[in-house]
Amino acid sequence: MQEVVFLTAIYCWLIGSSNYELYADLSDKMINVISRFCDIQHVYSIDEAFLQLNGYTTRWQHLPKISGDL
């Protein structure tokens, strides 16, 4: 236990328990947000998604606004 405390102090680690229900809820909310910006998406895992952006090149000029909305 002393070794964990020592390493935590040196590397500024924070050790805590996971809250998978909260993580899943936040993941669902994020997927809902990105689905507003792209019709074709593949949810790969709870914290990864891929978007098909073919044909969206004209929207790149609006990227600063979109990122601000996110």
pLDDT attached to residue 13: 61
Q: Which pLDDT value is given to residue 25?
A: 92
pLDDT score at 35: 86
Quick check: pTM over 0.75?
no
What are the 10-residue block averages of pLDDT along the chain, 70 residues in total?
A: 59 70 91 86 90 71 69
Contact 51, 34 (CB under 8 A): yes
